[in-house]
């Protein structure tokens, strides 16, 4: 039986080597490559065609969510299993909306990681039990409601929100929208002020609740 071909994307070399060592002893799993950031994972996906990518969320340059969305567009047969420290439903929802097949916390035991890899390879979805509600269709209630409705933001600000919520950096948003980085920073500041948002997690919740991710 062919082995499950796994590619590891994480910006910490020790994490990558630890995962490689863990998976090396499994007879049905073969680690075929590594990547240190979200931008660098696309090329080996195209070249190596892994079955599963273990994807960290927080990496320099392009984040894991944006990389997940691109993998699903360019390497449609490759499944993405997010492996992260972020125990927050909004991040899980964000990753699943981008096309991830699973969302697993790094504090999980090794046996759950193996179960998750095999599950997403079979075409199933695997989410850490503590984040199971991220699979529901109804977004979680936001503790601090925005002070303004979506109608108060401009079409350009909607585009900026959608891209930032997917994990793109200011520079990547600027390149995609053909505007300056300073302009993106200004839009971001105005958006947070208008909507009474304070963190990226707040921005993600808002974008998901009002359907702005699809616009990006």
Q: How do residues 152-167 score in pLDDT, each as one tens digit?
A: 788 898 888 888 877 7
For residue 86, being part of any structural domain is answered with: yes
pLDDT greater at residue 143 or residue 100: 100
- The partner residues of 201 in beta bridges, in order of sequence, read none
Task: Say whether pLDDT at 8 is over 70.
Answer: yes
User: Looking at the domain assignment, is residue 73 inside a domain?
Assistant: yes
8 Å CB contact between 90 and 140? yes
Kindly tell me the sign of the dihedral angle through the C-alpha atoms of 165, 191, 198, 169: positive
Task: Answer yes or no: are the C-beta atoms of 98 and 207 closer than 8 Å.
Answer: no
Same domain, residue pair 34 and 59:
yes
What are 22's two structure tokens?
A: 């863990």
Mean pLDDT to the nearest integer, 108-135: 86
- Answer yes or no: do 98 and 74 share one domain: yes
Is 214 part of any domain?
no
Residues 125 and 154 in one domain: no
CATH of residue 120:
3.40.50.2300
pLDDT averaged over every residue in the chain: 84
- Establish if 215 belongs to a structural domain: no
Asked if 166 and 74 sit in the same domain, the reply is no
pLDDT of residue 108: 87
Q: Give the residue from 127, 189, 136 showing the smallest Cα distance to 164.
A: 189
65 and 125 part of one domain = yes
Distance CA 69, CA 65 (A): 6
The pLDDT tens digits of the residues spanning 93-114 come to 888 888 999 999 998 889 999 9
pLDDT at 83 over 90: yes
In terms of domains, do 89 and 159 share one? no
Instruction: Give the residue among 51, 64, 48, 50 at the shortest CA–CA distance from 15.
Output: 64
Domain of residue 155, CATH code: 1.10.10.10
Range of the domain at 31: 4-135
Q: Does 70 lie in the same domain as 9?
A: yes
Give per-residue pLDDT as tens, 189-214.
Answer: 888 888 888 777 777 777 766 767 64
pLDDT at 142: 44
Say yes or no to pLDDT of 37 above 50: yes
Task: Judge contact between 105 and 87, C-beta under 8 A.
Answer: yes
Answer for the pair 212, 165: CB distance below 8 angstroms, yes or no: yes
Tell me how many degrees the CA angle 36-41-46 measures, rounded to the nearest 5.
150
pLDDT tens figures, 54-63: 999 888 777 8
What would the mean pLDDT of 114-125 be, rounded to a whole number?
Answer: 94
Q: pLDDT value at position 129? A: 82
Q: Give domain status of residue 141, yes or no.
A: no
Q: What is the pTM of this model?
A: 0.68
The predicted structure's pLDDT at residue 211: 67
Number of domains the chain contains:
2
Integer CA distances (angstroms), 188 to 64, 159, 160, in order: 20, 11, 7
β-pairing, 102-105 vs 79-84, is: parallel
């Amino acid at each position: 039986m062919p082995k499950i071909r796994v590619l590891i994307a994480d910006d910490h070399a020790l994490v990558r080597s630890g995962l490689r060592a863990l998976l090396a002893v499994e007879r049905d799993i073969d680690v075929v490559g590594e990547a240190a950031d979200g931008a660098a994972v696309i090329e080996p996906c195209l070249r190596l065609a892994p079955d599963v990518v273990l994807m960290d969320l927080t990496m320099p340059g392009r984040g894991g969510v944006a990389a997940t969305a691109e993998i699903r567009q360019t390497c449609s047969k490759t499944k993405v299993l997010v492996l992260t420290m972020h125990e927050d439903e909004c991040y899980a929802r964000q990753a699943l909306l981008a096309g991830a097949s699973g969302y697993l916390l790094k504090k999980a035991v090794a046996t759950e990681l193996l179960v998750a890899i095999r599950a997403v390879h079979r075409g199933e979805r695997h989410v850490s039990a503590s984040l199971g509600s991220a699979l529901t269709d109804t977004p979680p209630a936001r503790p601090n409601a925005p002070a303004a409705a979506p109608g108060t933001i401009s079409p350009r600000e909607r585009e900026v929100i959608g891209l930032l919520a997917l994990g793109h950096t200011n520079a990547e948003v600027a390149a995609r929208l053909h505007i300056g980085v300073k302009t993106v920073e200004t839009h971001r500041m105005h958006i947070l002020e208008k909507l009474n948002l304070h963190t990226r997690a707040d921005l993600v919740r808002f974008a998901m609740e009002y359907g702005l991710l699809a616009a990006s």
